[in-house]
Amino acid sequence: MSLYYEAASILANTASSGGSLKSRIYNSKHLKSKPAQVFALVTEATRWSAVLKEVVERSGILKDERKLTPILAVLLSHDLILSKSGIAAPNNHVLKLAILRHKARLNAEFTKLRLKRGFPSVVAFRSSIEAGQSSELDVLNGGDETTTHEHPRWIRVNTIKSTVEKQLETTFKDYQQCDDICQVGQASATDKVIHIDKNIPNLLALPPRADFSKSQAYQAGEIVFQDKASCFPACLLDPQPGEGDVIDACAAPGNKTTHLAALLDERCKTKSNNAERSDIVAFERDSRRADILQKMVGLAGADDTVAIRAGQDFLRAIPSSNEMQNVGYLLLDPSCSGSGIVGRDDTPALFLPSLPATANGTGGSNLGSKKRKRKQTSTVESAQLDKTESVPENEPEISQSEEALKTRLASLSAFQLKLLLHAMSFPSAREITYSTCSIHTEENEGVVMKALASTVAREAGWRILKREQQVDGMKKWHIRGELSACEALKEELAFEGDEREVAEGCIRCEKGTKEGTMGFFVAGFVRSSSVLAEALDGSYNQVHGGEQASQGEEVEWEGFSDDGDGLQLPASGETESQNP
């Protein structure tokens, strides 16, 4: 398969695949082309895609060339117009022939666009694109900023080592505070604007391409790169020192673990000196990722509070054992499809040309020999999720079928439910949060409803943490769970609770909105005080002590690889996972 088909396949499956772009390319067992070449083509073409989208649309080549899909057109026009070595394919290759037939038109459209944007040379245009200053928003939709939003660089101040005030006086001393998050989202890498978040304490938003990885504060663990949505679980759990230990069940690389440690540390500082302390037990079954967790915890100054269970499966922790007797809180952030993740540092947004309209008003009559309907696409989202790309004859399928996605989600959600039921079987637990960076209801409201309807939850007295009981920032957050998903399961599960209360208790974040978050989901669970009192009294444990929700075979999951790419650990400079 040629470089272009391989690169197109990678881009077509971006939304439904886990892991960073780099790890998916370098770890792929199916690539015939050199991974470095595929990675360079995909990232460069994506970077230019807002420009190339317009060039391809104006040239009208998708109308004439049956072999070209929107993704292939972007990749090939990139190499034709912008790569020094041109199209990397033999002269008689069908794709090379298809794109070369339109060389003059494509170059002319590119030049027109460059001049219209005020760049006297390709070099000037290139440096603007590379600096991220020539925003995609200016090119797309005539600058309609209501449709696409950039993802700010979110930074959590680690209050174990610093404070927001100190950071504003040092790391961000030249920065101007602004009230509107959109102002930050639209800023270039060099604009000095900063926004203090209103939902999560100690969270700052900075321009999308601002780079603080070399800053003293980052190297010293005073600031942590963490998406706003990813701060929701620890904030919602709101553990109180002296009310039991905290388990982080799926901990690496450790963003939420260190956030929990900071919250406990802050609360201890504000309580009297004799306040009982709580420890955090962080499980991570992948030993390689546990090493990263260890480094993150050390860097955050949380070694004293966090006990890492490296290479240990949370499902094997025995809730009734002596060491788990004092567990009061559990944060569960398991592996998931990762479908909510946006703006990984190595994956800029991809913009694709729309297919030409047909007589009946739909896109795409230029089908390849495998005739399948192609949707008209113009946004990043629809481009990435389009499962109906036309595929040239004898070339591999480049999209995942709906069926495969369903199977994958069923497998993942069974695994997630199993972990949640296990968390619910800890006898002294008073609160649990369950979160995913997935947009799929199967992994979110579906798991929550199934857990609430389970025997384990009913017997142990678990119910949803209602919106009005949540900490202020979470109560005020406006995007709640999907009611229709909860309603759809109510009957099937014979759920006796109030599904509206469940949906309202669930919290969602959407990607691509002006809020600047990734797609995320979190729900909290609390226990009725009578059952908890019984448990703390020891009587619950006598009756239920040996019962574990987690016995039996572990569900096979094929989800988000969580492989750790992209996370830069300041101390070692090692390249590991940028987890949301």
Ligand X SMILES: C[S@@+](CC[C@H](N)C(=O)[O-])C[C@H]1O[C@@H](n2cnc3c(N)ncnc32)[C@H](O)[C@@H]1O
Q: Catalytic site residues? A: 437
Q: Which string of x and - marks every residue 471-500 that binds ligand X (by CB under 6 A)?
A: ------------------------------
Residue type, 459: E
Q: Is the dihedral of CA 72, 126, 574, 294 positive or negative?
A: negative
Our CB check for ligand X shows the closer of 562 and 576 to be 562
- Residue (of 236, 309, 308, 306) closest to 278 by Cα position: 306
Q: Is 313 annotated as a binding residue?
A: yes
Q: Does 395 help bind ligand X (rule: CB under 6 A)?
A: no
Closest approach of ligand X to the CB of residue 254, in Å: 5
Our CB check for ligand X shows the closer of 316 and 372 to be 316
CA angle, corner 430, sides to 479 and 310, nearest 5? 90
Find the part of the chain contacting ligand X (CB under 6 A) among 69-77, 128-136, 310-318, 451-459. Answer: 310-318
Q: Does 379 help bind ligand X (rule: CB under 6 A)?
A: no
Residue type, 518: M
Helix axes 103-116, 70-82, angle to 10 degrees: 80
Our CB check for ligand X shows the closer of 24 and 256 to be 256
Beta strand 193-196 pairing with 280-284: unpaired
* CB of 389 closer than 8 Å to CB of 487: no
Q: Of 222, 286, 291, 345, which lies in the binding site for ligand X, with binding defined by CB under 6 A?
A: 286
Place of tokens 């920032």: 473
Q: Looking only at residues 544 through 573 of this chain, which bind ligand X when binding is defined by CB under 6 A?
A: 562
Looking at residue 314, what DSSP letter applies? G
Find the part of the chain contacting ligand X (CB under 6 A) among 33-41, 50-58, 235-243, 249-257. Answer: 249-257
The residues facing 330 across adjacent strands are 247, 432
Closest approach of ligand X to the CB of residue 563, in Å: 9
Find the part of the chain contacting ligand X (CB under 6 A) among 2-10, 333-341, 344-352, 484-492. Answer: 333-341
Euclidean distance between CA atoms 253 and 354, whole angstroms: 39
Q: Looking only at residues 212 through 231 of this chain, which bind ligand X when binding is defined by CB under 6 A?
A: 230
Burial class (CB in 10 A: 0-12, 13-18, 19+), 580: buried
Q: Is 255 annotated as a binding residue?
A: yes
Q: Of 241, 253, 392, 570, which lies in the binding site for ligand X, with binding defined by CB under 6 A?
A: 253
Euclidean distance between CA atoms 420 and 424, whole angstroms: 6
Q: Provide the b/e sequence for 181-202 (b: ≥16 CB within 10 Å).
A: bbbbbbbbeebebbbbbebbbb
Q: Is 199 annotated as a binding residue?
A: no
Euclidean distance between CA atoms 522 and 481, whole angstroms: 9
Q: Of 65, 109, 136, 333, which lies in the binding site for ligand X, with binding defined by CB under 6 A?
A: 333
Closest approach of ligand X to the CB of residue 18, in Å: 9
Our CB check for ligand X shows the closer of 19 and 353 to be 19
Q: Does 440 help bind ligand X (rule: CB under 6 A)?
A: no
Q: Of 314, 351, 462, 540, which lies in the binding site for ligand X, with binding defined by CB under 6 A?
A: 314
Euclidean distance between CA atoms 440 and 444, whole angstroms: 6
Q: Does 114 help bind ligand X (rule: CB under 6 A)?
A: no
Euclidean distance between CA atoms 335 and 286, whole angstroms: 12
Closest approach of ligand X to the CB of residue 281, in Å: 11
Q: Is 254 annotated as a binding residue?
A: yes
Find the part of the chain contacting ligand X (CB under 6 A) among 331-339, 382-390, 394-402, 454-462. Answer: 331-339
Euclidean distance between CA atoms 497 and 461, whole angstroms: 12
Closest approach of ligand X to the CB of residue 323, in Å: 16
Torsion angle, alpha carbons of 78, 81, 87, 88, to 10 = -60
The tokens of 23 are what?
């790890």
Helix axes 483-493, 445-453, angle to 10 degrees: 30
Q: Does 289 help bind ligand X (rule: CB under 6 A)?
A: yes
Other beta carbons within 10 angstroms of residue 207's beta carbon come to 24
Q: Is 19 annotated as a binding residue?
A: no
Q: Which residue is nearest to ligand X (CB)?
A: 250
Total site size for ligand X, rule CB under 6 A:
21
Q: Is the dihedral of CA 533, 538, 543, 547 positive or negative?
A: positive
Q: Is 348 annotated as a binding residue?
A: no
Q: Of 48, 172, 283, 329, which lies in the binding site for ligand X, with binding defined by CB under 6 A?
A: 283
Q: Is 406 annotated as a binding residue?
A: no
Q: Does 520 help bind ligand X (rule: CB under 6 A)?
A: no
- Residue (of 125, 157, 306, 155) closest to 222 by Cα position: 157
Q: Of 252, 385, 522, 569, which lies in the binding site for ligand X, with binding defined by CB under 6 A?
A: 252
Q: Does 254 help bind ligand X (rule: CB under 6 A)?
A: yes
Q: Does 329 help bind ligand X (rule: CB under 6 A)?
A: no
The tokens of 110 are what?
């590119």
Q: Is the dihedral of CA 37, 38, 42, 43 positive or negative?
A: negative
Place of tokens 């004859």: 393
Our CB check for ligand X shows the closer of 39 and 283 to be 283
Q: Does 315 help bind ligand X (rule: CB under 6 A)?
A: yes
Closest approach of ligand X to the CB of residue 447, in Å: 14
Residue positions in the annotated binding site for S-adenosyl-L-methionine?
A: 250-256, 284, 313, 333
Residue positions in the annotated binding site?
A: 250-256, 284, 313, 333
Q: Which residues bind ligand X (CB under 6 A)?
A: 230, 250-256, 283-286, 289, 313-315, 333-335, 562, 579
